[in-house]
Amino acid sequence: MITKDVIDGVISDYDLNRLSIATICSHSALQIFHGARQLKFKTIGITTIDRRVIYEAFPLAQPDEFIEVQSFKDVLDESVQGKLRDENAIIVLHGSFVEYVGAEGILRQLLVPTFGNRLTLLWEGDRARQRLWLEKAGLKLPKEFKGLSDVNEGCKVFVKFPGAKGGRGYFTAKGGHDLSVKLEEAVKKGLIESFDQAVIQEFVSGVRYYFHCFYSPFAQGGLRVGSGRLELLSMDKRIEVIDEAYRGLPDVPLEFFDYTVTGNMPVVIREAFLKEALAMGAKVVEASRSLFPPGLIGPFCVEAIYHPERGFIVFEVSARIVAGTNLYPTGSPYTPYLFHDWQMSTGKRIALEVKVGLETGRLKELLY
Ligand code: AMP
C-alpha cells in the first residue's frame, strides 16, 4: 500500500503555485470541474474518447485539459500518473472512480495525491468493516442476521451482495423459506458462490434521506468535531426503480423490484430533524478519527431511513462526494447559512478547502 509519507513526498515536489484538480469524467465530474474553475484552479479530465462530448457540451464545466484513456483503469498507468504529477494534480475521488479503478488499485498504485484520507476506502468498501465503523459511531443500524436459520417465518428481510453497485440485484424476502429459495436462485445466477456471501438485514420501512456532509479540519465556528467543522451542505432522495412499484399497480412487474438508482430528488428536512442529521454526521467523523486517523476529511454522505417510531436508521455511509450533490451546482437551501459566498456546490467546497490549505500552509493535512 502506498503510504501517506510517500504521497507527502510527491506533494513536496509539487509547484504549489500551479496546482490542478483532476478526476475521471463521470459521476460528479461536471460539478467538480465547475467548482474548481470558479476558484481558479486548472482542471484536468481523464476521459474515454466517447465521453468527451459530455464535457465539451457544458463549456463552463469543461476541464481545461483532457487526458484520453482507453479505459478508466488506465489512470493507474505510469504514463497517465506521470502527466498528472507534472500538472501538480490533486485527484478528487468519486463513486465511479472507485468503481472503475477499484479501491485496491488506488491504495496500491495511485502515486498522485487524492483529496481526503484514502484510508476511508478500506473502511467503506468492506461491508463488515463499515458496520464496525457505524457501530463505533453509536448509530442505529438495521438488524443483521447471521444466516438463514436466524430468520423467522414472516420476518421481512433485505438482502445485499458483496460489491453490488447502486443497489443492483438487491432483493427482499419474507421468512426463511422464501429467503432460501431466492438465495438458491442467486447462486444459480452466479451472483454469489455461497449463501454466507449475502448480507441479510431486516427490511427497514420508512422515508429515505441522503445527507450530504463535509468535514473541514480548517473551518471556524459552526458544529465543532475535533478541531474542525461538520457542515451539512445539502440532502437528496434517490429515485430507485422500486419506487414505481408502490404506485398502486395491481400486478407489479417483477423487474420493478429493483433498487438501482436512476436519479435524485432535492429534499429539505423538517427543521427539528436537523439536530439528528447533524449528530449522525458528527458521530461518523468522530468514530473515523479514532479508527483511521486523521479520519474522514471532505465530503461524505449519511444514508438513512426515518421510521416513525425508531427514528433514523443508517444503512450506509458513502465516504466521498455522492451523485446526489449534482442537484446543487449553485448551492442548496442550506449553503446560505454556512457561507457568505453561498453558491457553494460540494465540488466548489472541495476546491475551497484546497485553497484554504494552500493559503495556510496546511495542504498536506488534506491530501493522501
Ligand atoms: P445501499 O447500497 O446500501 O445504499 O442500498 C441501496 C438501496 O437499498 C437504498 O437506497 C434503500 O432504498 C435500500 N435499502 C438498503 N438497506 C435497506 C434496508 N435494510 N431496508 C430497506 N431498504 C434498504
Q: What is the 3-state secondary structure (H, E, C) of 122-140?
A: HHHCCHHHHHHHHHHCCCC
Q: Is 345 in the pocket of ligand 1 (CB under 6 A)?
A: no
What is the b/e burial string over 227-237, where b = at least 16 CB atoms within 10 angstroms of the residue's CB?
ebbbbbbbbbb
The verdict on the CB of residue 170 being under 6 Å from ligand 1 is yes
Q: How far is the CA of 343 from the centre of ligand 1 (A)?
A: 31
Q: Answer whether 348's CB lies under 8 Å from 38's CB.
A: yes
Mutate to test the pocket of ligand 1, among 99, 143, 170, 306 (most ligand atoms within 8 A of CB): 170
Supply the pLDDT for residue 102.
95
According to the model, what pLDDT value does residue 266 have? 98
**CA 308 – ligand 1 centroid, Å:** 17
Residue 164: predicted pLDDT: 59
pLDDT tens per residue, range 73-108:
999 999 999 999 999 999 999 999 999 999 999 999
pLDDT at res. 139: 98
Q: Are strands 20-24 and 89-91 parallel, antiparallel or unpaired?
A: parallel
Q: Whose CA is nearest to atom 1 of ligand 1?
A: 167
pLDDT tens digits in sequence order for the chain, 368 residues long: 999 999 999 999 999 999 999 999 999 999 999 999 999 999 999 999 999 999 999 999 999 999 999 999 999 999 999 999 999 999 999 999 999 999 999 999 999 999 999 999 999 988 899 999 999 999 999 999 998 889 988 899 999 987 656 677 788 999 999 999 999 998 998 888 999 889 999 999 999 999 999 999 999 999 999 999 999 999 999 999 888 777 766 677 777 888 888 899 999 999 999 999 999 999 999 999 999 999 999 999 999 999 999 999 999 999 999 999 999 999 999 999 999 999 999 999 999 999 999 999 999 999 99
> Could you tell me the three cell numbers for 2?
502506498
CA distance 158 to 142: 10
Q: How far is the CA of 136 from the centre of ligand 1 (A)?
A: 20
Q: How many CB atoms lie within 10 A of CB 143?
A: 14
Q: Is the CB of 233 under 6 A from ligand 1?
A: no
The pTM for the full model equals 0.95
| DSSP character at residue 152 | P
